[in-house]
Structure 1
Amino acid sequence: MHSPNWKALVLVGVMLMACLQCGRDGDSSEPSASPTAGGDDHTISGDSGDASAGDVAQRPAGDAGPVDEGGKPPADSRSTGCGTPGKTGSFHLTTTDGKGATRDYAVQVPSTYDAKTPLAVTFVYHGAGGNEQAAESFGLQDAAKTSSASIFVFPQGVEFENYGVGWDDSCGGYDMVFFDHMLEELEQQYCIDTARVFAAGFSWGCDYVTGLRCCRGSRLRAIAAASCADEFSNAADFKTYANMPCPDVGVAGIRFTHDAKGDGAYSQEQFTTTSALYRSFNACSATSTATSPSPCVSYQGCASPFVECAYPGLGHTLPENWASDTWDFFASFASVH
């Protein structure tokens, strides 16, 4: 779904950012933890096609997704794998994608796993040219209180057309089926809380997570989108997002982190338009209030929370404490079990 011009610009931007980060090893598109820029001069500018409640991205009438008005998951959210003993630790599994190709994904299951106690499942997607190890290096699975709370999944991307290893983030693409198969197989093999499925991604992985939010929204409870601005035919209008109208927008929380002024891979305008897209997903107003940690804001009137954190001088990377802040956001979506 990525156009040649779009992909070329992003890859060039990522390479330029990597050149500025001396001494880094491995995949140049992947972030290292970066100190948070100080001060309170952050700006989340513009409304890029004012995303109001009237602009909700095609949620089917009456479809509230997996979360009710009180923000609690349904009581019958235990997967079919509950009661089935499962392997623990770190290992790899395979399944097929939408083209029938065999795909690999890394899995981490807590050593304390109890087949009677449903866990969250969290997917973490690497950036352009990355791999499962790069996604693991983001550290989400190492955040406090995650060790017994979630199964973590690190999918491996494949070559996308001629643009290197990445993701097909179109609703009809092969990677949406890859997600379906991973989740279905884990739900059959482990005791999963099906109302606490989370997804996080950086850069191209973040673009893919945005696609999941639009194409598989009812399967998700929340996403963390880091440094991306998915495809718009008009960079100033969120309604031109390539997956519109969303077939399954659902109601899932969103946490969006990025550089306040653009980061070399994506412009400030693209981030502003992506923010408007996320507000449309969650039926938020354009009004926001400050929330912790600084410089984050929380939008008002939303069907499900949307938090945006625009860091001055961040660059194309993850902010300091991204893993712990992201898990705190995910953990705020309570389980009934």
Structure 2
Amino acid sequence: MPRFSLGLGPLVSGLCFILAAVVACSSSDSGDAAQTAADSGAGTVKSGTGEIDASLEAGDPDASTWEWTPPPPQPTRSQACGAAMADAVGVDSTTPSGRTFHVWGPQGYDPNKAYPVVVMFHGWYTDGRSFESWFQMEQYVNNEAFVVYPDAANQLWDLEGTSDLVFFDDLVKTLGETYCIDPSRVFGFGFSYGGKFAHHLGCQRAGYVKAISVGDGSWGLDPLQCGRLPVLVTHRTHDNDELVAWGKTAADNWVTINGCTADTTISDPTMNCTLHPNCRQPGGTTTFCEDTWFDATWPNDWNHTVREPYRTFTWQWFAALP
């Protein structure tokens, strides 16, 4: 039986959009949050946190004229490298500010090897442990990475402010103080509402997050003044909670942000993936993969998911990035 996330249909998707706007309007002052990020040791906050022209909405070609200054290269080994530590199997962890996340590490953890990290962002009105219970991304990374499931505050990600961006900064720093990780290879993977946040994270933390992947999630609230990075969007044709057209729009937004040309290539025929390979540097390519597989015997809610072959493919895509 496939693992899936309970969907509530197009009505909930509409309510989700409305609720996201309400949540964003209530987010905390960005100046205070930016200072918190600096205090966390994660460096200054970084892309897209300056004054934003609200007229640059999704699809506005003028957004491509906004200039992004990449952050300095990230270290390749964290503070905890060399210190022995037991394998992490669902270890509950907490940042200095009290935010929680849950860690699955490689079996036979080697404290002298700097591992990449995949940070998993759950859908709305759930939490990291519940997400892990059915998605189980740690089973798809070939024992080659840490997989981390953070908990959103009040089970909703901050799609416009900086509170969860600061949480991401603190999570990476806290994880690196406990385990040997490669901070230059931290990836974000969001599903559904968590995909909206993954877009926000990529926009505002490009260069600190190596790349993002979004499964069956739509664009959030960011204008197109974003940093550039490799982006993978996968979406199921028959998803009635998050429509495939919304995933294509999100991918098109990244084509604009990444300064890609109109040239495309079929990068993976099996996974039905289209790649925009010619994009501005530093930055990354943009890939959209449409999962057309359909089983009429499945309940409709099961179509709102990232199927297992696409979980494997997402890790392979992360791992292959230079």
Say yes or no: does 1:330 pair with 2:318: yes
- Residue from 292, 302, 305 that aligns with 2:285: 305
Corresponding letter in the other structure for 1:264:
N
Where relative contact order (Cα < 8 A, 6+ residues apart) is larger, the structure is 1
Q: Which residue in 2 is equivalent to 1:127?
A: 123
The alignment partner of 2:108 has SS state of: coil
- Residue from 102, 107, 111 that aligns with 2:103: 107
Kindly tell me the number of residue pairs found equivalent between the two proteins: 259
Q: Distance in 2 between matches of 1:296 and 1:49?
A: 22
The alignment partner of 1:212 has SS state of: helix
Say yes or no: does 1:142 pair with 2:132: no
Q: Which residue in 2 is equivalent to 1:166?
A: 156
- Contact 1:65–1:219 (CA under 8 A) maintained in structure 2: no
Q: Distance in 1 between matches of 2:123 and 2:117?
A: 20
Q: CA RMSD in A?
A: 2.8
- Per-residue CA deviation, residues 49-77 of structure 1 (Å, 9 max, x unaligned), is 486xx85484424x2765xxxxxxx7x52
Task: Give 1:290 shift.
Answer: 1.1
Q: Distance in 2 between matches of 1:59 and 1:79?
A: 30
- Residue from 185, 198, 204 that aligns with 1:215: 204
Corresponding letter in the other structure for 2:176:
E
- Per-residue CA deviation, residues 284-308 of structure 1 (Å, 9 max, x unaligned), is 1233211223311111302413211
Q: Distance in 2 between matches of 1:245 and 1:85?
A: 42
Q: Which residue in 2 is equivalent to 1:266?
A: 242
Q: Which residue in 2 is equivalent to 1:21?
A: none
- Contact 2:122–2:131 (CA under 8 A) maintained in structure 1: yes
- Contact 1:258–1:310 (CA under 8 A) maintained in structure 2: yes
- Per-residue CA deviation, residues 122-168 of structure 1 (Å, 9 max, x unaligned), is 101111122223432223210152x1x21111011232xxxxx2211
Corresponding letter in the other structure for 1:272:
K
Q: Distance in 2 between matches of 1:179 and 1:169?
A: 13
Task: Give 1:86 shift.
Answer: 2.8
The alignment partner of 2:290 has SS state of: strand
The 3 A distance-change label for structure 1 pair 125 and 144 is: closer
Identity of aligned residues (%): 25
The 3 A distance-change label for structure 1 pair 89 and 301 is: same
Q: In the TM superposition, what are the counterparts of 1:63-78 in structure 2 within 5 Å?
A: 63=70, 66=73, 76-78=75-77
Q: Distance in 2 between matches of 1:109 and 1:115?
A: 11
- Residue from 150, 162, 167 that aligns with 1:155: 150
Q: Distance in 2 between matches of 1:176 and 1:196?
A: 17
Corresponding letter in the other structure for 2:272:
P
Q: Which residue in 2 is equivalent to 1:275?
A: 251
The 3 A distance-change label for structure 1 pair 186 and 214 is: same
Corresponding letter in the other structure for 1:140:
M
Q: Which residue in 2 is equivalent to 1:178?
A: 167
Q: Which residue in 2 is equivalent to 1:44?
A: none
Task: Give 1:85 shift.
Answer: 2.5
Q: Which has the higher helix share?
A: 2
The 3 A distance-change label for structure 1 pair 56 and 87 is: farther
Q: Distance in 1 between matches of 2:124 and 2:214?
A: 15
Task: Give 1:252 shift.
Answer: 2.5
Say yes or no: does 1:84 pair with 2:83: yes
Question: TM-score when scaled to structure 1?
Answer: 0.68
Q: Which residue in 2 is equivalent to 1:202?
A: 191
